[in-house]
Structure 1
Amino acid sequence: MPRVRIKVDGVTYEDEVEPRLLLVHYLRERLGKVGTPVGCDTTNCGACTVLLDGLSVKSCSVLAVQADGREITTVEGLGPGGELHPMQRAFHTEHALQCGFCTPGMIMASIDLLRENADPSEAEIREGLEGNLCRCTGYQNIVRAVRRAAEEMRQAPEREVTS
């Protein structure tokens, strides 16, 4: 079996993994990172989005062996010392969730969106998140949350944690 060395939320793990094991299952079942939900297993919904070397990926489309030597940030690893990341705080403040199933993926994709564009328009936010589906919210509050977090992160970029 292949052996991998993956840094997840600041901790390095070394494991033997089946060659076909998906990253989402490695994170949840081996490491207990259950904040990354299994949504569709087909890359359609985006619920399982994590940051891989700082870039958002749908972890159901990445094999654990492909993450060997790389760094993963999950929603659990965003806030330093248990603090909420500005994006997490904005989602809470703006009521950008209902059932919460899509929230981890939305947060992670939003952080990557702001890495590329620190001050996106509403249309740019909607376009940037189009690979992440929400069945509950209608997206209005999600867009507001991303705008709020963008503003906070521009004002205090040293507090930004992305990987």
Structure 2
Amino acid sequence: METRDALLELRRDLGLSQEEFAQRLRVTRQAVSRWETGETVPSTDTLKEIAKTFQVPVDRLLGYPAGYCQSCGMALTRDGERGTEADGSRSEAYCTYCYQQGRFLQNVTMEEMAEHNLQFLAEWNRANGLDLDEAEARAGLLAFLPTLKRWREAGGTTE
């Protein structure tokens, strides 16, 4: 999916007209129209603002599929990594470590989830060729987790 399609889908999912979408972002309706037709692409700063304003991951705006757990943020690259719904079917949204049989396995706050994820920081740094320190990683997680479905719906509180 291209950015133009992702923006159009987001706006429609929110039930907003181009004018209403533009007003919330303090841009013109014409700018929104040009984004949706692919005539132009929003700047990086504008994409960040759209993500923040409408509480969606920037990845969604860039057209990437929601291929990560909507609870912990783990990449979901194989079906075996996906949790299960109450009826036994594979979850489209959550990993097997967070969600099984239609229920979350951890009764945690968003902050506790971030701390749990930090336990895997060294492994993640190696896999991604990065060297984030713990403070940077914590700040990044606490900015990212609220964009995920579980935390948007729960308001960051204990499930």
**TM-score in same-fold range (> 0.5):** no
TM-score by length of 2: 0.29
Whose helix proportion is higher, 1 or 2? 2
- Higher RCO, 1 vs 2 (CA within 8 Å, ≥6 residues apart): 1
Q: Give the TM-score of the pair, scaled to structure 1.
A: 0.29
**Higher strand fraction: Structure 1 or Structure 2?**
1
